[in-house]
Structures are given as structure tokens and as C-alpha cells.
Structure 1
Amino acid sequence: MSQCLLAAPCHSPRDSGGDCRTDDVFDFIVVGGGTAGAVVASRLSEISSWNVLLLEAGADKTMSAAVPALYLNLQKTGMDWELETQRDEGMYNGLTGRVNRWPRGKVLGGTSAINAMIYIRGGKRDYDNWAADGNAGWSYEDVLPLFKKSEDMRDMSVVHSETFCKYHSRGGPLTVSRFGSDEPIIKVIQDAGMELGYASNFDMNSVGKTGFTSPSQGGIKVGERFDTADAFLSPARHRKNLFVIKHALVTKIHISPKNKRAFAVSYLWKQEKIERTLRASREIIVCAGTVGSAKLLMLSGIGPKHTLEDVGIDVIQELKVGRNLQDHVMFFGAPITLSPVKHTGVELLEEMDSAYEYLTRRTGPLATIGVSELVGFVSTTDEDIPDLQLSFENYMDLNSKWDLLLPIVVLVQPKSRGTIKLKSCNPSDPPLIRPEYMTEPQDLETMLQGIRWLERLVKTEAMSAFDANIRRMNFPGCCNLEFDSDAYWACAISHLSGTFFDPVGTCRMGPRSDPTAVVDQCLKVHNVKGLRVADASIMPTIVTGNTYAACVMIGEKVSELIKIQWLGQKCHSSTMKQRFDNAVRLPYTPSTEGH
């Protein structure tokens, strides 16, 4: 019975795919029931007089998706789009097939249903810079109430703290709590970080910038994954004005060439070969993700002129869709060997005990993500602003001599920019994704600085107590290079670097005067009526940290903007309402504050 309660289908909205007819008209159509789309569909359906349709290419998550420790096993399953990038010159030499795979959620809840669940909002400067670039209403002061609106913080040490409580709230749909791994190596790494001047950071979503946090905050509720489908769609599943069609691959947004108004969407349902089309009387909101939203806009005639014409698509509105692609790139080719921190052999009986403990009490190793819950932010400059994120994986018993700790160095503010283009006009074809990692020299330099920081880490007393050493890996083409030289590490980076699963930016937000912008500060597509984009693709620059929390905030933001436009409804505070009004009505005066 306990097992059956994992991701129970009765908690999911019913599939309305067999009920909808081509003459049905909805007030709003939301494309994509992922991290942001689930938020938007739920919030809009709070208005009982609005009929809201949510189209999702996937369906419900599996039971294993609810178990935190199994998150990596969800890649290359039916819940994953299984995207692959194009080959960047000189990169991915050590990856299987020289392929950089991009796991993206094809399921209600989207990538929030298959990710590591870590909840990090990003830094104050991230959002202040968005506002300073001409996006009024997106400063940190503006978006903090939106983060709090979603949140139901279950960590009482945060809630009752005078310092941290003002950054958090209780009672929102999205449960946020702390992981609870008891891996002893976490304490060792934290102690080593403190020796280097990086104190333990109690709450990365408050005033903290650099430092190590464990246990970190995550989308966890009573030992189970709690994604945005759980948080926003499940409570709304009985609303008579919310319709959800699963297994619906949206193929096109219909836009009137005469007045450039989006009025309908076409989609393929399940195994059908003939498209269905449904109309929206008010707006269509695209929440298909950094890859999916860019692809759908281009399939619909919105994008770079030459890119669309190359695949035979008529251009309705020329915009820089698919440009400005950014991703947190990680390097994992500097393994650290350790003398055993504890007895690491795991017997079958222990595994069975862990499974029994989880199924009966939702506790134990399966309720955590292990050493991966330890998150560190460090700076390679003198500023207290992080440019690197550190995560760790612990692979025990890989040989008879040592335990192995795999540090993951992540560029959180990459300078390189990539592109997404259409392969063809066939909606079933995956797009051509070219991340262009490390094309800017500063990115390689920052990554090298991150490796040097790891070398300092292993020399601390805390790590030296376990004979910590960074070990050489003999990559083809690197064997003749001196170990620990910049040339060796640059070669290693070309072998073992890839995505940290946070692509953003392909439908960049910016004012009409910005030639690279696709949507405005209200997330309306420039020069197209009745069409918005609301997901990670709208980020002008990537946030400092995992993008999950920011996507939830974007869903909250666009929902309030829509309610203000169509209802004149007040936001969650009068000051926020004034800021939204200013964003729409007043000319923007750029500010240098926050740069």
C-alpha cells in the first residue's frame, strides 16, 4: 500500500484528450506542463470564469520519480526528451559517443520531476541586472515576493529565525524542506571549506553568497519528490475550468498574418497522425522550456529570417529566437581519492533494509540525494560574488585502495553563448542544439581557477586527514602533457565537460529597443498579440545556481501579469502592483545600480 502511494495516479489531473473537440474555445491555452507551465495553468484556473487548457507532451511521473535517491535513473526514460547537442569543436572527447546529452522533462512537472530537486533562487545581482537591462519589475526586490508566494518552508529553524524568515514564507503550494543525508564526507568538505575562508552558509536563499550549504533546501515533502505538478496541478485537479491534455505534442501556434495575433494551437494526441486544433480567445502562453519554446516559436514562423527560410517556413515575425543560449557547464575530470571515511561496503541486506525503511517511513538513504546535496559557491576573484558552483558525487569501492570523491566544478556565469535552430519543418525532429561551451577564453580561465581551488581544498587539514589527492586520468591526447599543468587540465576539460542541466535564454526578455529580445518585460512576444513565453528561455542572463526555483517564480510572475491585464486584479502587495503598473506605463530609465 505504501508503495502504491508513490506518485499515485489519483493525485494527477484527468486526461481530457478524448473530450476536447476542434470547435472548443478556451480563454487561455498553456503549452507545456513543466516547471513553469504547471504554475501558470494552476494560477490562471484560480479565476473560475476562465477556461484554461494545459497541453503536455508527456504524462504522469512514475513511482521511481518520487524517490529522491533515484533521480539519476530517470534520464533516458519515457519521462526524458533525451535531447543531444551538436558537437562543439574540441569538446566531449571523453563522453560516450562524444555526445553531450541534455535531459529535459517530458512529463507533468517537466524537469522538476526528474532533476536533483535542489532549490536555489540565484543571487540578488542576477535579478537587479535583469531590471537594469530594461526589464522593469524584475529586480530582486520585485521578485522576492513571488518566490515567497509559492513557498511553504518546512524548516522551522529558517521560519523562526529573525535573520532568515523575511526571505521565506509558509502556506504556499510548493513545499521546500531540507535534505537529510548522513554521509560523513559532507562534514569533511565543509570543514575544509572553512579552512579556506568559506564558512558554512546556512541559507543560500537569503543574504548568503559564497560558502557551503548542507543540508541544502529542496523540493522534498515527507521524504518524497515534490515537483510543480504535485504542488500546483494536484490541488487544482478537481477544478471544472482546468482541462489537461496529456500526450499532446504541440506542432504549431496559429498566428493571423493580417494582425499578427495568436489564436490557436495544433497538436498531435497520442499516436494520431492527424493534427487537432484548439482556439484561445484571450492568450496562448508557451512554457515548453528553453529548447521546446524556441523550437515551437520557430515552427510557427517566429524567429531569425534565414533560419526559418532554410527549412521552408514562412516568416511571420523576425526575432532572435534560439540565440543567447546559455548553460551551466560542468567539469568532472579531477577525481579525488580518499582513505575510507567509513566502512563503505553495502550488502544486499542493507539495501533491502534501506528500501523497507523508505517504503514504510519515507526515511533513510533513499530519501536523500547523498553527498550531492552539498552545494558550494566560491569566487575566483576578490569579490564576494560566486562564479563557480561545486557539487560532489561519492563513488565507493571503485577499487580496493581508496574511496573516490568526484568533485563537479560548475561555471555559474558563463560568457559563451550558443544557438538552437530547426533541423527541419517536421515538429517530430529534434532541433539542432549548439551550446558553444568554452568559446569565450574567460570561461576556460575561470574553470582552470576552479581546478586550482580544488587543489587548495585537498591540501587542507580536514582533507589531508584522509590522504586526499587529485588523481591523473590518462585521456587520449593528454598523456604527453605534464600532470597539473594548465595544458593538461585544458585537455581534460575537452574530454569531461558538459551540461549541468540548466539551459536558458533562447527567448530573451528585453525592451523593444533591444535587437536580441524576443519577449518584453510582461513576457509578451514582441509584435505578436495574444502570445507570451514563460519559462527559463526568457532569462536574459543565467542565474547563479540551479534554475528550478527561478522557473517557478517566472510562472508566478506571468500569472500575475495576466491577471492584472485582464482583471485589473491587485497583486500580492500594493507596492508590487505599483511596480507592475510602472513597468507597463512608464518609460524605463536605465540604472547602473547592481552592475
Structure 2
Amino acid sequence: MSDEAAAADRFDVIVVGGGSAGAVIAARLTENPDVRVALVEAGGTPPDRAAMPAAVASLQLDPDVDWMYTGDPGGAGKGLTDGRMMVPRGKMLGGSSSLNYMAYVRGHPGDFDGWAADGAKGWSYDDVLPYFTRSEDLVPPDPPEGVVIDDEVHGTGGPLGVSVRSPRTVAAEQFVQAAEAAGIPNGDYNGRDRGGPTGVASLFQTTTRNGQRSSTYDAFLAPAMGRTNLTVITHAQVEQVLLDQGPNGLRATGIRYSDADGGTTTLHAEREVVVSAGAIGSPQLLLLSGIGPTAELAAVGVECLLDNPHVGKHLKDHLHVPLAFPAPGVALTMTEIAIALGPDALRAPAGPLPADPADDAGLPPELAGLKAEAVRQVTEWATTGKGLPSSSFYDAVAFFSTGLGDPHTHDAQIGLLACGYTPDIWRHVFRVDPAAFFPDPESALSPTAQTVVVLPNPVQPHSEGEVRLASSDVADAPVIDLNYFADPHDVTVMVAVMRRALEIVDHWPGDGLGALMVPPALAVAHGHQAGEAPSDALLEDLARHYALTVYHETSTCRIGSVVDAELRVLGVAGLRVADASVMPTVVSGNTNAATIMIGERAADLIAADHRLTPDSTVG
């Protein structure tokens, strides 16, 4: 390597975004000590509370760690605040893997075979499976009863912790029993066949190790931070990929970023720039750099250097509809959860303990005992990984086919939330007014209420949205049009999945659950009486009003339209995109595991192109 290349502003590879894929790429490439990598991230290091699964909801709407985007939901969102859908995205090392609910779901084997059949060479199930197993460090379930694991397609010894939470919540175990009684057998949804059209139900496998979150920051990046050939630059907003026009066309030569103090810095890439800013951030950066639809760029004052009408288009996302049920003796109460989170979660103004810990000395015996129990539980979690803090409460799932189309995969997912959450979470995080959604919100969401939420979710949407620039200023959030339900097929499937969710509830063991809580205005509009079976029209109206994103945006820089099968941006040398935006279409399930896989494969593709072999490669 030349002296010039070793300069502080010159690197072999620059990775933009230290999230679910970017952290993996930077860590894998720098296994080779001769490869100099700069990882540039707009956020900082995850806060301590990110390690606690039960604290997940507190990460949203925190501008230090969440981009706090909202989007136009199109044919949904009628009942949401301002008619806008939340689009949280992780703004920290680990990205959305530091913010999400930690469900480890790879997708159906048919998803990847479908990608390959449509031209994404090298992305079939057989091609990508080794990248999933290379990442994974699966800990056998404890106890093993009740959880099926297809051992031949799981990995151990990888960086990424994967486990089934302990202890298991009553609601989650009963959900799996109810699904089995309704005809969906217990199985490994990360296995080779996912049970055929009938599907499988299971407790969630999660990206956790010893009861704590295992984000790509924790698993991949933090262990690599001491490497002299890895430079991690945080609180740095990349404004543009620098493109040079040469005799052979456009080439990416580096990036320009602004820091927290408003200063601007340029970095140069000797080999290539990799954009891993996510399904919202990656198309935004390409557009700001002059790659995208000519007319759209001109409208915001950006010179188009490469016309590509697909940049920011083809946005896919998953929607689920919260179906809330009284669950006495089954659900967790918010009081139980607050105690498990430790004394700080019990402090004023929301809780019974003093706002200032210094005032605890004079606590009456009842509150002193409450504090002592909170200390005991959070200490047990911190030292053993056991206890309620180890759960995000999104704890069980079923996958299956509705028979309405997409026979190559499962088109339906149903999740289970083992608690009802608080009015503030519904109001602010979900953008739903509890008074409009619940017939009796004070009862359904009281600190001692026992409420479960079943979440039907069509996972092969046909509708497509888009991401556009609001202006030429990177500080302005992009325009996000989610365009849910634009294709009538998606409404048909949603109602079918909601019906299947109600069938599962009808098979609930023991004393069962209470009646579905139907929003009062919708009940009146459809002549619905409490306890009656809802009509298809009511279910569709419920979905159009209160369906919520599952935070699974993908496909805005998809393979075949914006990048080739090796993730190289079409028409630009030395530039790749590697994150959820490159998925040709969304996988049939939670997207984080597949995004980590994309990071693993991207690192191998980059290394092969430049003969920069890291310690561990596939193939």
C-alpha cells in the first residue's frame, strides 16, 4: 500500500452506515489486517438500555437513536395520528438491529429461490444458507421441550447470538398450543421447508445472548473496534457519494460528510464505497448523489449524473393489525414488567417511587419492598440473563399459506404480543388514540390489566411504495410514500390472515381469551355487538384504520433494477449498496436476519473482487 493510500483520509473501502449490514461488512473485511476500512455512521454507540430486550419500546421516538421518520400510509392509517405511519429506523451503530424486537427470522427458502429465478444469480436458498449459518451462534432452547430446531441448517460458534427467551411467557406457550389446535403444527420456521403450505408455529428465536440483545454492533463491530485497520466515525451524516466522470463512465471515489459541529470532511476510497444506510437512507443518499430519476432530481435542484428511474421505488413493507383480547391469567401486566425493568422504571411522574433516588431513604415499607424486588429482578437478569427483562414480549409466531397466491412461499404470519402495553406507547409509539381504539381503555390498559395482542400480518404484499427527496438538503427527511393496500390483493389476504388469527384465538387452551376489543366507532358503523364474529367488512375497516407497520421496509435499491446480483450499482464503478434495500422483494417474515446475511455475502463479494480475503469466507 502506498504512503498516499495510507493517509488519514484514504481507505480501501468506505462503508456508509454501521447498521444491520454495514457493521457486518466492516468487521468481516477488516479480519484481513491489510484492508483499511472506514465505517461512517450518523448516530453513536447504542445506549445501555438497548441491551435489555424489555426496554425496546423506549428506543423509538428518541432522536439520539431513532431517525423518527413518518410516512404516508396510502390506503391504511385512517385512525392514526395525523394519518401518518411511524417509520422508525435505528440511528446508531447496529442500526435497526439495535432498535428492533429481535425476532430472528430468515425467511422461507422459496423467497430466495424466487429471487434467483427472477435473475438474482447467487441468491438462491442453497447459496445464502451458508451465510446464515456462518453468522449464527444458536444456543439450544432451555428447556428443549416445546421448541423444534432443524439442527442441520443452524450454526453455532458465529458472532450473532440466537436463542429462545427464558423464561417463556404463558401467553407465548399458549399461543403455540392454540395454533397447533387450529391446525398449524409446532416446527422450526427457520428450517428447510417451514412445514409446507400448512406452515409452522413456534416460540420466537431471537437475536439475544444470555438474555441481552445481540445486535450487529454487539456481535460483529464491538469485538473489531480495536483493529488498527478499522476507523469508525460516528455522528457523521454522509451528504454525498463523490462521483467522477472518466473515459469509462462514472466512478465512486469517496464521500463527503458533516459532523456534529457542522464541519465537512471528505474521505477517499481506493477501491470502493459501500452504501449500507438502509431501505430509506440508501436511496436517499443515491438520489442526493445524482443517481435516480432525472425529473425528480431536477425538481429539488440535484443534478442528475445517472438516470435510473428505479432508485427509491418498489418499496415493500409488512403491515399487521393489532387484535386485542382480555387475557386473565395469561397476559403479563405492565406492573409486572415495570418491576422487572428495575427501580428507574418505577419512578415519578409515572411510577410510585420518588423521581430522585436520593429521596428513597424515607420510603414506607410497602414502597421499600417494591424497590427491593425491582432491584432483585433486574440484578438477576444482568447476572444470569433470566427473567422478564430478557423478553421484548413479541414472543411467538405462526407462518402459513392462505392459498390466495404466492405459492412459492408463505404469505401469512401471525405474531403474539404477551402484554397490552401502556396508553403512552399506544398514543406516541403506535400513533393510536387508546380512547378511539379500545371500548374501555382504562380497563384494557390499566397497570394491572391482562391483555394480549394478536398480530395478523400478510408477508408477501403486492403493493409498492417509494422514497423521494424532499429537498437537496440531507438534513431534510425524505418523502416516504408507503402506499399500503394499493393492490386489492393485499386487502383480500389481510382479511384472510385476520380470520385465521381469530381461529387460533378460538382454539386457545384453558379458559380461553375474552372477546375481541373492537374500536367503538367501527363497531357502530358495522352494527357489531361485543362477542359477535366480525364481518369481513369490519375486518377490512379495522385494517384500513389501525394496521401498523412491522418496520420491514425493503427493495428501494433492488437487485436487477438499481444494483446487479453482486450488489454493484448499475452504471457506476466502485459503488455498491448492501442492506435491506437490495432485496428483490421482501422476505416472508421479519427482515433483520436476511439483512445480516446480505452483509455477510457482500463482504465476500467485495473481498473476492479485490482479492482482499478475510479470515472467514463462504465457498
TM-score normalised to structure 1 length: 0.86
Secondary structure at 1:374 match in 2: strand
- The CA deviation string for residues 512-570 of structure 1, in whole angstroms up to 9 with x for no partner, is xxxxx000001000010000000000001100111111111101111111111111859
Structure 1 residue 49: deviation in Å? 1.4
**1:392 CA displacement:** 1.9
Give 2:466's match in structure 1, choosing from 419, 433, 436: 419
Q: Is 1:548 paired with 2:592?
A: yes
1:221 aligned residue: 209
| Greater Cα offset, 31-40 or 46-55 | 46-55
Secondary structure of 1:279 counterpart: strand
Say whether residues 1:521 and 2:506 are aligned partners. no
Partner residue, 2:250: 260
Which of 519, 523, 530 is the equivalent residue of 1:473?
Answer: 519
Task: Say if 1:501 and 1:342 are closer, same or farther in 2 by CA, change over 3 A.
Answer: closer
Residue deviations 1:316-347 (CA, integer Å, cap 9, x gap): 11111000100011111x32223433795647
Give the drift of 1:402.
7.0
Alignment partners' CA distance in 2, 1:37 and 1:81 = 17
Deviation of residue 225 (structure 1)?
0.8
Question: In 1, are the aligned partners of 2:420 and 2:451 still within 8 Å (CA)?
Answer: yes
Q: Is the 8 A contact 1:39 1:556 kept in 2?
A: yes
| Residues 336, 73 of structure 1: alpha-carbon distance in 2 compared, 3 angstrom cutoff | same
Equivalent position of 1:482 in the other structure:
527
> In 2 relative to 1, CA 236–304 (structure 1 residues): closer, same or farther, beyond 3 Å?
same
Equivalent position SS for 1:261: strand
1:104 counterpart residue number: 89
Residue pair 2:189, 2:201 contacting (<8 A) in 1 also: no
SS of residue in 2 equivalent to 1:254? strand
Deviations 1:195-232 (A, max 9, x none): 11111124534432422111x21111111111101111
Counterpart in the other structure of 2:450:
403
Query: What displacement does 1:249 show?
Result: 0.2
Match for residue 208 of structure 1 among 173, 190, 194: 194
Other-structure match for 1:62: 47
Moved over 6 A (4+): 20-23, 156-159, 399-402, 570-573
Matched, 1:374 2:418: no
Once superposed, what is the RMSD of the aligned Cα atoms? 2.6
Equivalent-residue separation in structure 1 for 2:293 and 2:467 (angstroms): 11
What does residue 312 of structure 1 align with? 301
CA drift of 1:405 comes to 1.7
Distance, in Å, in 2 between the alignment partners of 1:238 and 1:497 is 44
Structure-2 residue corresponding to 1:563: 607
- Hey, what does 1:588 align to over in structure 2? none
> Residue 265 of structure 1 aligns to a residue in which SS?
strand
AA aligned to 2:526 is L
Distance 1:169 1:178 in 2: 15
The 1-side partners of 2:612 and 2:391 are apart by: 44
Given the superposition, is the C-alpha separation of residues 341 and 171 from structure 1 closer, same or farther in structure 2, using an over 3 Å criterion?
closer
**Paired letter, 1:217:** Q
**Correspondence for 2:438:** none
Distance (whole Å) between structure 2 residues aligned to residue 482 and residue 291 of structure 1: 41
Question: Which letter does structure 1 place at the counterpart of 2:413?
Answer: Q
Aligned residue number for residue 391 of structure 1: 415
What letter corresponds to residue 109 of structure 2 in structure 1? K
Partner residue, 1:85: 71
Unaligned 5+ runs, structure 2: 340-369, 422-442, 529-533
Deviation at 1:495, TM superposition (A): 1.2
In structure 2, the partner of 1:354 is 377
Which residue of 2 is the match for residue 115 of structure 1? Answer: 100
**Unmatched tracts of structure 1, length 5 or more:** 1-19, 511-516, 578-595
Question: What letter matches 2:380 in structure 1?
Answer: E
The size of the alignment, in residue pairs, is 542
Percentage identity across paired residues of the two chains = 35
Question: Comparing 94-103 with 337-346, which one deviates more in the overlay?
Answer: 337-346
Does structure 1 conserve the Cα–Cα contact (< 8 Å) formed by 2:293 and 2:311?
yes
Pick from 295, 311, 319 the counterpart of residue 321 of structure 1: 311
Higher mean alpha-carbon deviation, 450-459 vs 71-80, is at: 450-459
Q: Which stretch has the larger CA shift, 467-476 or 194-203?
A: 467-476
Q: Please say if 1:364 is aligned against 2:363.
A: no
State the alpha-carbon separation in 2 of the partners of residues 315 and 207 from structure 1: 45
For residues 256 and 465 of structure 2, what CA distance do their matches in structure 1 show?
Answer: 29
